[in-house]
Amino acid sequence: MTAATPSRPIAIITGASSGIGEEFARQLAARGHDLVLVARRRDRLEALRERLEVVHGVQCVSIEVDLARAAERDRLCDLLAADEDRVTVLVNNAGFGTHGFFRETDLSRELEMIEVNCAAPVHLTKRVLPWMLERRRGHVINVASLSAFTPGPVMAMYFATKAFLLSFSEALWEECRDTGVVVTALCPGPVRTEFQQMAGLSSKARTSGTAPVRVEQVVSDALEGAMDGKRVVIPGYQARLAAMMSRFSPRGRMLRTVRKIQEERRRQSRGI
Ligand SMILES: NC(=O)c1ccc[n+]([C@@H]2O[C@H](COP(=O)([O-])OP(=O)(O)OC[C@H]3O[C@@H](n4cnc5c(N)ncnc54)[C@H](OP(=O)(O)O)[C@@H]3O)[C@@H](O)[C@H]2O)c1
């Protein structure tokens, strides 16, 4: 990917095979970035790579990686190092959720979620951030969630992973102040993607809290916010209001409200 276009910036996008990550790929290609597309489903990545190369005339590579595995994350970073001087954007987007009471969910799936939602962004940022700092230029976008702002009964581990990612991102944003590098946490409310199905929720289940925001809007808000140096981007008015209210509402009341919503989703998914 090196010789033909030495000056074009490279954006790395994890979870590019679907949903929000796929849209990041489209919009970053439209902005003239060469892309590194990362996920496990190679067929999907390859189809996207071919489309984006034709439509936008950029160069893309797709790399099949299971981000739950530290050795595979290292292999990915070793490959990226060949073009480190062009790596300008890292989007840590890959992630999934599990739904249900903690006493019911599968431990190995929860531990895998911690690897993908938390360890992978830490690992990739650890390797990529120094390249950006060296050139005093770059953006890291961590895809957290509106769920990051409250604990989430009946989806406890997912909410906790996103709270981790938000805290990590905000701290790095401050550490990177005046370095030319910006770390932004993207905190969307519901977005219609494969996420719900992957979490074991039926398409009939209501979305949590706020109205869904279109994936195109989520990503354009994220990119504009990141380019403006924002620490946190929350697409959609309702979601911004919900995030603000979560700061001021009594914790006990918040917990009961979230539990009620998530229990309803659980019932709707089970058809009861
Ligand atoms: N949709 C929402 O309502 C919503 C709201 C707030 C935040 N988010 C966050 O947005 C991000 C993207 O989710 P989405 O809504 O776009 O869901 P999605 O359509 O299910 O996409 C998830 C992506 O993550 C990748 N992924 C999952 N496990 C992986 C692994 N072990 N290794 C590599 N890649 C993996 C998947 O690729 P492969 O399966 O091909 O590996 C897929 O590309 C997630 O972090 C999610 O938590 C979503």
Q: Tens of pLDDT along the chain (272 residues)?
A: 554 555 799 999 999 999 999 999 999 999 999 999 999 999 999 999 999 999 999 999 999 999 999 999 999 999 999 999 999 999 999 999 999 999 999 999 999 999 999 999 999 999 999 999 999 999 999 999 999 999 999 999 999 999 999 999 999 999 999 999 999 999 999 999 999 999 988 877 777 778 899 999 999 999 999 999 999 999 999 999 999 999 999 999 999 999 999 999 888 888 76
Residue 66 CA: nearest ligand 1 atom is 32
Can you list the alpha helix ranges (DSSP code H) found in the chain?
Answer: 19-30, 42-56, 70-80, 107-114, 120-135, 156-175, 195-198, 215-227, 237-248, 251-270
Per the CB < 8 A criterion, the answer to whether 64 and 42 are in contact is yes
| Domain layout of the chain by residue ranges | 10-270
Is beta strand 181-186 parallel, antiparallel or unpaired with respect to 138-143?
parallel
Rounded (5°) CA angle 98-26-49: 90
Strands 34-39 and 60-64: parallel
Q: Whose CA is nearest to atom 44 of ligand 1?
A: 95
Apex 228 CA angle, 224 and 231, nearest 5: 100
DSSP letters for 182-215: EEEEE------SSHHHHTT--TTSPPSSSPP--H
Distance 196 CA to ligand 1 centre (A): 10
Q: How far is CA 260 from the centre of its chain?
A: 26
Which of 72, 93, 96, 198 to probe ligand 1 with, by most ligand atoms within 8 A of CB? 96
Domain 10-270 fold is: Rossmann fold (3.40.50)
Residue 101 Cα to chain centre, angstroms = 24
Classify strands 60-64 and 87-92 as parallel, antiparallel or unpaired: unpaired
Residue 44 Cα: closest atom of ligand 1: 40
Q: Which atom of ligand 1 is nearest to the CA of 144?
A: 7
Q: Output the ligand 1 site: residues, CB below 6 A.
A: 15, 17-21, 39-41, 65-68, 93-96, 116, 143, 145, 188, 190-191, 193-195, 198
For 199-216, b/e burial (b = at least 16 CB within 10 A) is: bbbeeebeebbbebbebe
Give the residue carrying structure tokens 């790399």: 63
Catalytic residues: 158
| 160 Cα: distance to centroid of ligand 1 (angstroms) | 16
Closest to 180 in 3D by CA, of 56, 88, 53, 46: 88
**Residue 80 CA, ligand 1 centroid: distance in Å:** 21
